[in-house]
Chain A
Amino acid sequence: MYSDKVMDHFMNPRNVGEIENPDGVGEVGNAKCGDIMKIYIKVENNRIVDVKFKTFGCGSAIASSSMATELIKGKTLEEAWELTNVAVAEALDGLPPAKMHCSVLAEQAIHKAINDYRIKNGLEPWEDRFTDDDDHHHE
């Protein structure tokens, strides 16, 4: 049911862990729904120089976290903000329809971490295209 890429990122997830004194943290999802994603970012000169994640969830949630962190590493905050859930899913060679919400979580977690950084630095948070970010829905 999963692509080889999903299995690879699930079996060998990239960027698992925490960052000490992160510049931004974003946590989305809830235990009730069975998935929580937490992303930590380190920002230097408006660029994401390091990123780590921790995820409670199914194979595709872990793979989506891994892929999403890979895709934003080294990117400017503007570039990272533009990463969509569809791009994450495509980079994984697709996700089963019922699992697309996992890629949505990844996008949301990144947005939350970036906005956390912006707020900490006295900047206006950017507007997320998903409004109900804490109450995600399964497809």
Chain B
Amino acid sequence: MEKRFVYMDHAATTYTKPEVLEAMMPYFTEQFGNASSIYTFGRRSKAAIEEAREKVAKALNALPDEIYFTGGGSEADNWAIKGVAFANRDKGNHIITTKIEHHAVLHTCEYLEKQGFEVTYLDVDEYGMINLEDLKKAITDKTILITIMFANNEIGTIQPIAEIGKIARERGIYFHTDAVQAVGNVNIDVKEMNIDLLSLAAHKFYGPKGVGALYIRKGVKIDNLIHGGGQERKRRAGTENLPGIVGLGKAIELATSNIEEHNRKIKSMRDRLLNGIMEKIPYTKLNGHPEKRLPGNINVSFQFIEGESLLLLLDHYGICASTGSACSSGSLDPSHVLMAIGLPHEIAHGSLRLSLGDLNKEEDVDYVLEVLPQIVQRLRDMSPLYESFIKEGGK
């Protein structure tokens, strides 16, 4: 078996597509003018930014005026949550979110709790889905914001966003969704889904790192996060990341132009890999929802082994993947997402996330199906947990 380089960590980040990089290049060396400058050379940069803004708006069915560029997904989440919280303090101090959000949302909410806000962290079921009745019950007359992620980065579960949007809109509560994992993988229509604020990051859909956007529906009351100059219609200060924004525009155009076809291809590889894993490796559990999940996401737990050692061995064979084990993060507990879906610690420690994307080929699936069962068995042969399991008759 020939060693391959297999990148199956697209949920962590993606490569920048050559056509995206190509679109960006002139804005580094040639057309580098400051978009705020009045002369023609500056106005051309401004025009490029506006063109990118239109592309983002089109991808989400928003208006160009509702798109604000940021320095990435975390900034967009911080802005949406802190900005709405502080601007609407006179109406109430209650925020609703979930236990499985990205840390950019969770830690922002925890910060706001220290500032006197109250936060409800909704539970999720064994598949990582929120319960809409729980959401309705959590709403009080003090609730000013609901922030629930579109799709989960670890287990891939896709939330009922349109239903959440409807509930929020009917009650006059702002609805923000962290769609960082969803853009390019799921059809998004902010109007139809009643989304008031939406965060996205270019590097998750084959754009460059360090650039993102926040969609803010017209009329939403929100404070600024970054204070300074008058860029982004006086709402987000700082000289625009011109090449990054152009790259984001190009990337979102490519990623949303043919979602169905793209997903069909990724999903078929993902399903073949997942079925192969379940077939070849006993004592394996799928984490997340069997159907309502991102097309490229696999999250499985292998009993009796630990995730970090699994990643190290996969890396030895050239395979890039990720785990929710505590030992990979240096913290005491395994992933908060795996804890929230009710996994026992030892099962969470043995989790593996493989996220497929455009870099993958059918040969990668064959290769992982060849390597992974051997690695799991090698670690199980070393595991005292497996030893006692076998001695007790394998029950």
Given A34-B306, A35-B306, also A55-B328 (CB < 8 A) = no
The residues in A between 40 and 94 inclusive whose CB is less than 8 angstroms from any CB of B are 54-59, 61-62
Q: Are B309 and A98 in contact (CB under 8 A)?
A: no
Given A57-B327, A59-B308, A62-B309, also A36-B385 (CB < 8 A) = yes
Task: Give Cα distance in the complex from A54 to B389, angstroms.
Answer: 13
Shortest distance from the beta carbon of B333 to any chain A beta carbon, whole Å: 9
Given A10-B312, A98-B330, also A34-B382 (CB < 8 A) = no
CB contacts (< 8 Å) of B206 on chain A: these are none
The residues in B between 296 and 315 inclusive whose CB is less than 8 angstroms from any CB of A are 304-306, 308-309, 312-313
Q: Are A62 and B345 in contact (CB under 8 A)?
A: no
Of the candidates A13, A18, A58, the one whose C-beta lies within 8 Å of that of B328 is A58
Q: Are B382 and A13 in contact (CB under 8 A)?
A: yes
CB contacts (< 8 Å) of B156 on chain A: these are none
Given A31-B345, A31-B346, also A36-B309 (CB < 8 A) = no
Q: Are B308 and A58 in contact (CB under 8 A)?
A: yes
Q: Determine chain A's interface SS by DSSP, over half rule.
A: mixed
Number of interface residues of B (CB under 8 A): 27
Q: Are B309 and A31 in contact (CB under 8 A)?
A: no
Q: Are A58 and B332 in contact (CB under 8 A)?
A: no
Q: Are A32 and B384 in contact (CB under 8 A)?
A: no
Task: Give Cα distance in the complex from A132 to B391, angstroms.
Answer: 28
Q: Are B330 and A57 in contact (CB under 8 A)?
A: no
CB contacts (< 8 Å) of A11 on chain B: these are 313, 316
Number of interface residues of A (CB under 8 A): 26
| Residue B239 lies at the interface, judged by CB distance under 8 Å to chain A | no
Shortest distance from the beta carbon of B87 to any chain A beta carbon, whole Å: 40
Q: Are B346 and A34 in contact (CB under 8 A)?
A: yes
Task: Give Cα distance in the complex from A24 to B114, angstroms.
Answer: 53
Of the candidates B328, B349, B381, the one whose C-beta lies within 8 Å of that of A31 is B349
Of the candidates A13, A56, A138, the one whose C-beta lies within 8 Å of that of B305 is A56
Q: Are B309 and A57 in contact (CB under 8 A)?
A: yes
| Residue B22 lies at the interface, judged by CB distance under 8 Å to chain A | no
Q: Are B325 and A34 in contact (CB under 8 A)?
A: yes
CB contacts (< 8 Å) of B304 on chain A: these are 56
CB contacts (< 8 Å) of A37 on chain B: these are 384
Task: Give Cα distance in the complex from A115 to B172, angstroms.
Answer: 67
Q: Could you list some 17 contacts between A and B, CB below 8 A?
A: A10-B312, A11-B316, A16-B381, A36-B385, A38-B387, A55-B384, A56-B383, A56-B385, A57-B306, A57-B327, A58-B325, A58-B327, A59-B308, A59-B309, A62-B309, A62-B382, A96-B330
A7-B312, A34-B325 are known; give 20 further A-B pairs, CB within 8 A: A10-B312, A31-B345, A31-B346, A32-B345, A32-B346, A34-B306, A35-B306, A35-B327, A37-B384, A54-B382, A54-B387, A55-B383, A55-B384, A56-B383, A57-B309, A58-B308, A58-B327, A59-B308, A61-B306, A138-B332
